[in-house]
Chain A
Amino acid sequence: MRRASLWLLILLALAEAFIAGYPVWVLRPFISQPPRSLALAMALRNIGAWATLPGLAVIAVCAVALLRPRRRDADGGASISRRRRRRATAIAATAGLLLGGLAAWIANVDYFQWLFHPDHDVRAVAIAQAQWPAGAMVLDVNFGGQARAYPIRELGYYHVVNDRLGGEPIVATY
C-alpha cells in the first residue's frame, strides 16, 4: 500500500510538472513554436488551472500517509535498512508534494505579468501634462472623434493596454 502510494505520488507530481512546465517552456521568447507544440501548450494552459488541483489533493493525501510515523519506527524496532528506506520515502514524498504544489501554483498564475506588469490604472492626460520629448515615438489612434497617443516606451513594456476611446472598449498592443 505504501509502495503504491509512493508511485502514485511520483507519477502525479511528474504529470503536474508537465502540465505546468510544458507551456512555460514552449511559450517563451526567442524560439520558434511549431504548431503542434503551440496547440498542446495552449491546451495545457487551458486545463492546468483546475486539472492540477485534484492531482495536488491526491499528492497531499499520499504524502501525509507516507510521512506519518509508524509505530514500529517509533519503538525503534525497525532495521537500519528499513529506516533508510523510510527516510528515502519521506524525502521523495516531500519533494513530490513541493513539486506538485509548485506546478499547481504556476498553472494558476499569469506568470508573464510578473515580467510585464499590466497597467491597472489606465488614464489619459492632456498634451500639456505629458512629459514626453517631441522626438519620442507614439502609437496614435484616432477613433470616435477622439485622438489618443500611446508612447512606445510605455506600450513596449505593457504590450497590452485595455482602454476606452470614443465610447468603445479598445485594446492597444505593441
Chain B
Amino acid sequence: MAGRRLHFYLAGINDENFIMRDRETGSWWQQVSGRAIAGPLRGARLRLLSSEEISFGLWRREYPWGTVLAPLAADRKHYVRAGWVQRYHKYPVVVPLPQGPLKGRTLVVGVTLAGQSVAYPYAQVASEGLILDRLGGKPILIALGPDRRSVRVFVRGEQGLPPEASFFKELAPATRAATASAKPAAKPASGTAALPSRPGATPRAGATVASAAALPPPAKPNAPPARPGKPGAKTPRPFTLAPWNMIDAATGSRWNFRGCAVDGKEKGRCLPILPSLTEDWFNWHRYRPQSRIWSIGLRR
C-alpha cells in the first residue's frame, strides 16, 4: 500500500463479514471490499489480485509447479472440519435483505464488470454447466469445470471471435455413446484425466466419466448451497476430472477450462478470465445492492 508493507490481523465483524486491522497504522479494513473504513488510511483500497475457488485436484493439474500453504501442526486440530458449510448455513441471516427470489444464504457466483454486477445461483450454474450472458456491455460465459465444482467466468466474443460468439459444451464420448444407445456408459474413455478419488470414496466402474458428464436434475434457485462433492455433503461425489471442452459455434474450435482453444481455427488463443466470487447472496447483495440475479427465465 503506497510503498508501505502492511500486516493484517482479524479484528472484528461487520454485518457478518470480517474486518481486519493493519499493525502499522491501525486502520480498519473491510474484507469483502478491501477498503479501509476507519483509521489513518480510511478510503484507501487494497489492490485486488485475481483469485478463484477451485478444487485442489483441478488446480494441481493446471499448475503442477505451484505451491500450497503448509498446514501448521499446532493448528491442525482447529482447521474447519467437513460439513462446516452446512453448519454455518443453519445460522439466520441478520443483515437486512429485501424480499427476492433468493434466500440470504443461497450460494451465488458473483461477477462485476464495468460497474455492473450479477449473481448466478451456484445451484443453477451446477445444473446448467455453461451459461451465456452479457454484463457491462460485454458477452460473458460462466462455466462449471471438469471437477463439477469449480466455476470460471470468461469474456467471450474477443480474440477475433464474433461479438456474440456462442459456445456449447462438448459431450464426453461416453455420454454420446450412452445417449445414442440408451445404455449406461460402461468404461471411461482412454486418456481420461481422472485424479485419485478422495480417501473413503468408493470408485465405481464407469462412474468417472458417466457421473461427471450426466447433468444433474435442475436445481431450484433456493436449493441447499452444498456444492457437488463439497466437503461435508452427506453423500460426497467421488472426485473425478472428466474430459471437458466447449466448442464455439462460429469456428468449431474446442476450448478447455482454462479458456484456451486446443484445436481448430482459434487454436492457441485464450479467452480473458473475469474475477468472480463465490459468496452467500446476502453478503454479495450487501456490498453490491444493484446486482441483478441471473435465472433461467432471463437467460439470453
Contacts and interface: CB of A to CB of B under 8 A. Distances in A.
Contact of B9 (A31, A110, A143): A110
Interface in A118-134: 118-119, 121-127, 129-134
A137 to B, nearest CB: 6
Interface string B70-95: 11101100111100100000011011
A117 interface: yes
A78 interface: no
Contacts of B139: none
A42 B21 CA distance: 10
B69 A124 contact: yes
A33 B13 contact: yes
A86 interface: no
A136 interface: yes
A81 interface: no
Contacts of B294: none
Given A42-B28, A124-B69, A173-B20, A138 B54 contact: yes
A157 B80 contact: yes
Contacts of A133: 56-57, 198-199, 239
Given A147-B67, A148-B66, A156-B80, A119 B10 contact: no
Contact of A137 (B26, B53, B63): B53
Main secondary structure of the interface of B (DSSP, over half): loop
A40 B92 CA distance: 25
B239 A113 contact: no
A154 B71 contact: yes
Contacts of A161: 69
A160 B199 contact: no
B176 to A, nearest CB: 26
Contacts of A153: 79-81, 231
B10 A127 contact: no
A41 B28 CA distance: 11
Contacts of B74: 117
Contacts of B52: 139-140
A28 to B, nearest CB: 6
B68 A138 contact: yes
A151 B256 CA distance: 24
Contacts of A77: none
A133 B195 CA distance: 10
B75 A140 contact: no
Contact of A118 (B9, B37, B49, B68): B9
Contacts of A134: 55-57, 60, 195-198, 239
Interface residues of A, number: 68
Interface string B164-192: 00000000000000000000000000000
B211 to A, nearest CB: 13
A42 B69 CA distance: 31
A133 B52 CA distance: 18
Of the listed residues A29, A125, A126, A160, the one surrounded by the most CB atoms of chain B closer than 10 A to its CB is: A160
A136 B239 CA distance: 9
Nearest to B231: A136
A32 B96 contact: yes
Interface string A81-119: 000000000000000000000000000001011001111
B22 to A, nearest CB: 9
Interface string A4-45: 000000000000000000010011111111000011011101
Interface string A40-60: 011101100000000000000
B67 A126 contact: yes
Contacts of B49: 141, 143, 170
7 contacts: A27-B13, A45-B11, A117-B74, A123-B70, A146-B67, A147-B65, A160-B9
Closest 9 CB pairs of A and B: A134-B57, A27-B12, A147-B66, A135-B239, A124-B67, A133-B198, A156-B80, A130-B68, A147-B63
Interface of B: 5-16, 18-20, 26, 28, 31, 37-39, 46, 49-57, 59-60, 63-72, 74-75, 78-81, 84, 91-92, 94-96, 147, 149, 195-199, 229-231, 236, 239
Given A123-B70, A132-B68, 19 more contacts: A42-B38, A110-B9, A112-B10, A112-B11, A118-B9, A119-B72, A131-B71, A134-B55, A135-B149, A149-B59, A149-B69, A157-B79, A161-B69, A163-B69, A169-B5, A171-B8, A171-B20, A172-B51, A172-B69
